[in-house]
Amino acid sequence: MPVKQINSAVANENTPASLNSTRPQKVGFVSLGCPKNLVDSEVMMGLLARSGAELTTHAEDADVIVVNTCSFIESAQQESVNTILEMATHKTSGRVRKLVVAGCLVERFRDQIRKNIPEVDAVVGTGELENILAATGVAPVPRPSDSPFVVLPSRPEANARAAQGRFSRESWDGAIADLPNYLYDDSTPRVLATPRYMAYIKIAEGCDHACSFCIIPQLRGQFRSRRLESVVAEAERLARSGVREITLIGQDTTCYGEDFGLKDGLPLLLERLARIEELRWIRFLYAYPNKITGKLLETIAAHEKICSYMDVPLQHASASVLKRMKRGGGADLFLRSIEKMRRTVPDLTLRTSFIVGFPGETEKEFEELCDFVREAQFDWMGAFAYSDQEGAGAYSLDQKLSAREIERRRRRLMGVQKQISKKKKKALVGREFDLLLEGTSEESELLLEGRTAMHAPEIDGKVFVNDVRDEITPEPGHFYRCQITESHEHDLVARIV
Ligand code: SF4
């Protein structure tokens, strides 16, 4: 079985050209979860490659397999355990000598993994990425400039939250007390696992928010941002190596720079990135609703390279549920904010996500959410079933809803959005957009597929291309002008003009 595909792995400037004289360790990676975890995998692959290890996309060829896990919700934990067990079979049937587990599951269940899955030889938490070398048995190549374990000044919010016990792992049997504080920088080697024309850049790590359904702050530590110059230097290097689309990520990108006193940190960063000539599309994900400033919106509107696209997970629309979620806001406030976003950024594509079935969510509160979705008319929307997490504030709340009822509500909300999505996609027929061609479609060899600026990588729908003029030889990673000819619930069909 192939290990997570390392598509056109790009060795950056910090990756060595030469390998050790003895046969290099062959390391296979499985990266689960979100793009933030993927960047961690890319950093670990970069550290291994720089020290002479060879990366393989086939589990049966690997000497060592690393599973970089997710632990955000129960289903992600289950998927992580299943993958570890599946990869463990290669120790008996293949040449694999070591199995390493990394990532969020380690922060949550460090001791239990070691105790209950004896095939696991080593664990690496999210705050100890450099330990991947010792864990896999690859000798490190020392570099005097390496200084990844930087303890940055924290925000007053972080200190207040810490005093409230926000980052405490006391209730977690098997987790170590130390919070992760790792943050990579532009001198850290990285091997891209994304197609060569696009890359994620993690601009911050950790989170200081109080959301009562979420254990990310305990898993990832306090909010900390990378230095602006470091992000710009990394983006410039990626652009030189052929990357044309950059997606900025972090648990909360809109707090960027606050921990080192930077005002309007994200707009400032976006402005700097927009000056990089080779880049075509720049976007950021995971905006926190009350951190979206006029300056940020004006910056998006002012630069063609910054996609008119916002991802703002709102989580709910009922003020009473949001209060219990410890997030604040409500339908009226959000509608005013959305109106401002659309007024300032013409042709804005707006994505959000909601959690349904939060403890105590009444039918009336759920209906409020459905009404809000009808009114807000999002371009993209995700609905997630509430998942009870030990250590999260909501864990101790009463009035938990049954899994069946939660699923009923999730489907109902998705049904509301389905009608909106269909209508919105239909309105695009006949319009022209720039299209980033990604290659032959997974649906059919007769179709090509790509994305417009309205489509963030991996999470939004696709544009299928079924008509290309004879004189054009379409190449993946290149941009073409396209006209939308058909619309479906999520996807679009286009011709290259
Ligand atoms: S903003 Fe809330 S939901 Fe998002 S990572 Fe932070 S605590 Fe979790």
Ligand 1 proximity of 252 Cβ (cutoff 6 Å): yes
Q: Which of 272, 339, 256, 263 is nearest to 295 (CA)?
A: 263
- The span from the CA of 257 to the CA of 14, in Å, is 26
- Mean pLDDT over 269-284 rounds to 98
Among 131-140, 239-248, 315-324, which is the least confidently predicted range? Answer: 131-140
Distance 436 CA to ligand 1 centre (A): 31
pLDDT of residue 405: 98
Q: What is the DSSP letter of 363?
A: H
**pLDDT reading at 138 higher than 90:** no
Q: pLDDT for 209-229, tens place per residue?
A: 999 999 999 999 999 999 999
Q: Is 281 exposed, middle or buried (0-12, 13-18, 19+ CB in 10 A)?
A: buried
Q: Which of 149-153, 184-188, 427-431 is predicted least confidently?
A: 149-153
Cβ atoms of 29 and 129 closer than 8 Å: no
Confidence check: pLDDT of 12 > 70: no
Got the DSSP string for 34-56? Answer: SHHHHHHHHHHHHHHHHTT-EEE
Centre of ligand 1 to C-alpha 451, Å, is 28
Confidence band for 177, pLDDT divided at 50, 70 and 90: confident
Would you state the structure tokens that stand for residue 261, as one six-digit string? 């006193």
CA 41 to ligand 1 centroid distance, Å = 21
Given a cut of 50, whether residue 202 has pLDDT beyond it is yes
Given the structure tokens 């910056």, which residue do they identify? 299
Using the atom order of ligand 1, give the atom closest to the CA of residue 208: 6
In terms of average pLDDT, the best of 4-18, 124-138, 331-345 is 331-345
- Determine whether 470 is exposed, middle or buried from the number of CB atoms within 10 Å of its CB (0-12, 13-18, 19+): exposed
Cβ atoms within 10 Å, residue 398: 6
The model's pLDDT over 65-119, given as tens digits with 9 standing for 90+, comes to 999 999 988 899 999 999 999 999 998 877 899 999 999 999 999 999 999 999 9
How much is the pLDDT for 1? Answer: 35
Contacts of 311 (CB under 8 A, 6+ apart): 284, 285, 286, 287, 351, 352, 456
Determine whether 304 is exposed, middle or buried from the number of CB atoms within 10 Å of its CB (0-12, 13-18, 19+).
exposed
Q: Average pLDDT, stretch 43-71?
A: 93
pLDDT at residue 10, as a whole number: 37
Ligand 1 center to 216 CA (angstroms): 6
217 pocket-lining for ligand 1 (C-beta < 6 Å): yes
Q: How far is CA 474 from CA 225, 438, 440, 492, in A?
A: 39, 10, 10, 18
How close is the Cα of 220 to the center of ligand 1, in Å? 11
- Res 472 pLDDT > 50: yes
**How confident is the model over 347-356, as a mean pLDDT?**
98
Bridge-based pairing of strands 492-496 and 479-487 is antiparallel
C-alpha 469/C-alpha 451 separation (Å) is 19
Atom of ligand 1 nearest to the CA of 327: 2
Q: Is 209 in the pocket of ligand 1 (CB under 6 A)?
A: yes
**50 CA to middle of ligand 1, Å?**
33
What is the arithmetic mean of pLDDT over 117-142? 90
Mean pLDDT value across residues 193-212: 96
**pLDDT for position 169:** 86
User: Cα of 461 to ligand 1 centre, how many Å?
Assistant: 25
Instruction: Give me ligand 1 centre to Cα 215, in Å.
Output: 8
- Ligand 1, atom 8: closest residue by C-alpha: 214
Which range (177-186, 339-348, 372-381, 471-480) has the least confidence? 177-186
| Ligand 1 pocket mutation, candidates 73, 104, 251, criterion most atoms within 8 A of CB | 251
The pLDDT assigned to 199 comes to: 98
Cβ of 266 below 6 Å from ligand 1: no
- Higher pLDDT among residues 205 and 23, named by residue: 205
Mean pLDDT of 133-159: 70
Identify which has the larger pLDDT, 195 or 152: 195
Given the CA of residue 286, which atom of ligand 1 is nearest to it? Answer: 4
- Closest by CA to 477, choosing from 439, 426, 432, 429, is 439
368-416 pLDDT, tens digit each:
999 999 999 999 999 999 999 988 999 999 999 999 999 999 999 999 9
Across all residues in the chain, what is the average pLDDT? 91
Q: 159 pLDDT band (50/70/90 cuts)?
A: confident
Asked whether 354 and 413 are in contact (CB, 8 A), the reply is yes
Helices (H) and strands (E) in the chain, counts: 13, 20
Q: Ligand 1: does its nearest atom lie under 6 Å from the Cβ of 254? A: no
pLDDT at 308 over 70: yes
